[in-house]
Amino acid sequence: MRVYLDHAATTRVFDEVAQETVKFFTQFYGNSSSLHSHGYEAKRLYEEARSKIAKHLNVETEEIYFTSGGTESDNIAIRGFLKANHPEGGHIITTQIEHPAVLELTRQLEKEGYSVTYLEPTTGGYVTPEDFRKAIRRDTVLASIMWVNNETGVIQPIEEISRIAREHGIVLHSDAVQAIGKIKIDARLVDMLSASGHKFYAPKGCGFLYVSKRVKVEPIMYGGGHERGLRSGTENVPGACAMALALEIIEKNYEVWSEKVKRFKEKILRAIEDIPDHHVNGSNTIFSHISVSFKNVLGETLATALDMNGISVSTASACSSHHGTRRSHVLEAMQLEDWMIDGAIRISLGYDNSEDEIEYFVNVLSREVNRLRRMS
Amino acid sequence: MLKYTELVLDHFKNPRNLGRIENPDAEATEGSIACGDMMTVYLKIEDNRIVDIKFESYGCAANIATASMMTEVVKGLTLEEAKKITWKDIVERLGGLPPVKYHCSNLAIDTLRKAISAYEESLVGR
C-alpha cells in the first residue's frame, strides 16, 4: 500500500482540476493579453478566476495578483512594500519560525540596512500578541507573521496581532501558504497575504498575493506590466483557473472533508498515545497536521522506515553533514528537548486520504517505532 | 527521503549482528545524541581474531546499514586486518551511499577502531 501523508509539502491535483486545466493548453490557449478572440476568451476566464479567489478570501477582485507561488508572493509583498514606502530603511517584525521564503529575505534586508526583530515562539510553537506589542518601535513599518506554521501546523494569533498592528499603523503581511484551502480565513485581517496553488490541490508554479487597496507596492521584476504593473510575465491562465476551481471544490465539500480529516487526525493521535515516550510538538494545530517525536528514534530514521513501507511523511531535521545535524529552525526556536527536535516527523493529512490508509499507517507506525527502539 | 540502494535498505530492515555481547573483550561508543548519530560496538576476541561482533545504534538508516555491513565484513578477521578496513570499503560493499551520508559510514569504522584500541590498551595493562 502507498500512503501519502505529506500534504504540507505538496498535494495531488484534484482529478477534476487536472481535467479542466487541460483545456487551457489545447482549447483556451490564447495569450490573455492579446487583442483577438483567442486572447479575449482566455482573459475572461483568467479574470473570472481572480474574482472567485477574491470572493473566497473576502476581498475585492482588484486586490488579487497572480504570481508563481508562495516564495514570489512573499518577496513581492515584503520587498515591494519597502521599496514603495520605505526605501531609506526601517524596522520589520517577523518570527523565528517563518518559512525560508521570508526568513532568507529578511536576512538579506538586514544586510541592506533594515533592522529586523525575530519574535521567539513559545514551546507551543506560536508567537504571542504581547511579544509582538513589545517589539514595536517608533520606526516599525512592516510585520510579516505566518498564518499557519509549515512544520508544526500551529495556527498563529493573527487576529490579535492584526488589531495591534492596526493600532500602531503597521502594515501586516502574512504567509498563508499552509492556511489557504484548509481553514477559513478573513484576509482583511491583514494588508497582504501570500498563497501557493500546489498546497491546495492545484498545480505547482502558480500562486497569488492579496494586497489591500490601501497599501502601495512596487514591482520587483520588470517587463510587460502584467497584473496591473505589479507582476510582469505572461499570465498563467491554466494556473489561475486551476486555483480558482480547486478552492471552489474545497468550499463545496468543506464540511464533510474537514470532518473526515479531523477524525483521521484523532485516530492517529490515539495510536500515538499508545506508544510510550512520545511528544506531540506544538499546540493549537491545524486539523490536518501532526508533528510528533518518539524518544530514542531519529525522525529521519523513522521516516526512512515508513518510506520502506510505502508511507510518505517528512522530517524537519536530518543528519546530513560532517558537522552534525541539520536541525529544524522551528523546533529549535521552540526550545524543545534534543530528542524532540531530532525525533520529529511531520504527518500532514489531505482530503484525499482514506480510512484504510490511516488504519495501515497507524499499524506500521507503532511497529516501526518499536523495531527501531530495539536497535539502541 | 534520500535514495538508498536496495542493499542499504536491506541492512537497515534486517541489521546483521544487532544487539550486545555480555562480557565483551572490548566495547566502544562513538558519536553523540546531540550530533544525531550514536553507536556502540562490542567485540569478542580470541587469538587476535574477532570471533564475534555486535552493535547497537541510535542513528539514521545509513548509519545502521553501514554498521551492519561493517560487522559482516570484519567478523573473523584478525585485528590487524580489521584495522585496515576503511569507510570506502564499506560504502562500496553497500553499492554506494548518498554523499551527505558518507560521515555515517565513518562513524561505523571509527567506533570499530576505538573498540580495537580499547582492547589493545587493556592488554598493555595486563
Pick the closest to residue A56 from A285, A251, A340, A236 (CA basis). A251
Kindly list the domain boundaries of chain A, sorted by start residue: 1-8+252-372, 13-246
List the catalytic residue out of A1, A216, A319, A371. A319
Q: Which residues of B touch A (CB under 8 A)?
A: 1-2, 4, 9, 12-13, 15, 18, 33-38, 56-61, 63-64, 100-101, 103-104
Integer Cα distance of B97 and B66 in angstroms: 9
Q: What is the pLDDT of residue B125?
A: 67
> Are A376 and B35 a contacting pair at CB < 8 A?
no
What does DSSP assign to residue B32?
A: -
- What region, left, alpha or beta, does residue A69 occupy, with left being phi > 0 and alpha being psi -120 to 50 degrees? left
Minimal Cα–Cα distance from B126 to chain A, Å?
A: 31
Any catalytic annotation for residue B60? no
Q: Which residues contact A149 (CB under 8 A, 6 or more apart)?
A: A97, A125, A156, A178, A282, A330
Pick the CATH number of A1-8+252-372 from 3.10.20.70, 3.90.1150.10, 1.10.357.10, 2.130.10.10: 3.90.1150.10
Q: What is the pLDDT of residue A263?
A: 98
> Are B36 and A319 a contacting pair at CB < 8 A?
yes
Integer Cα distance of B92 and A191 in angstroms: 56
Any catalytic annotation for residue B35? yes
Q: Which amino acid is at B55?
A: F
Residues of A in contact with B41 (CB under 8 A): none
- Other Cβ atoms less than 10 A from the Cβ of B83: the count is 16
Q: Which helix (H) or strand (E) holds B27?
A: strand B26-31
pTM of the model: 0.92
Q: Are A49 and A244 in contact (CB under 8 A)?
A: yes
Integer Cα distance of A348 and A142 in angstroms: 31
Integer Cα distance of B53 and B68 in angstroms: 10
Minimal Cα–Cα distance from B125 to chain A, Å?
A: 30
> What secondary structure, in 3-state letters, does A137-172 show?
CCCEEEEECCCECCCCCEECCHHHHHHHHHHCCCEE
Integer Cα distance of A105 and A71 in angstroms: 10
Integer Cα distance of A347 and A365 in angstroms: 11
Residues of B in contact with A312 (CB under 8 A): 1
> Are B60 and A321 a contacting pair at CB < 8 A?
no
Of B15, B33, B100, Cβ closest to residue A338: B33
Q: Are A105 and A78 in contact (CB under 8 A)?
A: yes
Integer Cα distance of A282 and A349 in angstroms: 16
Integer Cα distance of B124 and B2 in angstroms: 44
Tell which of A307, A311, A320 to mutate to test the B interface (max B CBs under 10 Å): A320
Q: What is the pLDDT of residue B60?
A: 87
Give the Å distances, CA to CA, from A280 to A25, A47, A291, A331, A356. 44, 43, 6, 11, 23
Residues of A in contact with B64 (CB under 8 A): 301, 375
Q: Are B113 and B121 in contact (CB under 8 A)?
A: no
Handedness of CA B40, B45, B49, B52 (dihedral sign): negative
Residues of B in contact with A339 (CB under 8 A): 33
Give the pairing type, strands A91-95 and A3-4.
Answer: unpaired
Of A304, A324, A376, Cβ closest to residue B1: A304
List, for chain B, all residue ranges whose pLDDT scores fall below the cut of 70: 1, 32-36, 125-126
Report chain A (376 residues): mean pLDDT per 10 consecutive residues: 97 98 94 91 96 97 98 98 98 98 98 98 98 98 98 98 98 98 96 98 98 98 96 97 98 98 98 97 97 94 95 81 70 95 96 98 97 90
pLDDT tens string B97-116: 988 888 777 899 999 999 99
Q: Which amino acid is at B98?
A: P
- Grid cell digits, residue B90: 564499506
Q: What is the pLDDT of residue A247?
A: 98
**DSSP-assigned letters across all residues of B36-98:** S-EEEEEEEEETTEEEEEEEEEES-HHHHHHHHHHHHHHTT-BHHHHHH--HHHHHHHTT---
Given the C-alpha cell 525522525, which residue does it identify?
A299
Residues of B in contact with A307 (CB under 8 A): 1
Pick the closest to residue A64 from A209, A166, A190 (CA basis). A209
User: Residue ranges of the alpha helices (H) in chain A?
Assistant: 15-26, 37-57, 70-85, 100-111, 129-135, 158-167, 237-273, 299-308, 329-333, 338-343, 355-373
Q: What is the pLDDT of residue A324?
A: 55
Minimal Cα–Cα distance from A158 to chain B, Å?
A: 33
- Grid cell digits, residue B88: 570506502
> Are B60 and A300 a contacting pair at CB < 8 A?
yes
- What topology does CATH give the domain A13-246? Aspartate Aminotransferase; domain 2 (3.40.640)
Q: Identical fold at A1-8+252-372 and A13-246?
A: no
Residues of A in contact with B2 (CB under 8 A): 304
Minimal Cα–Cα distance from A376 to chain B, Å?
A: 5
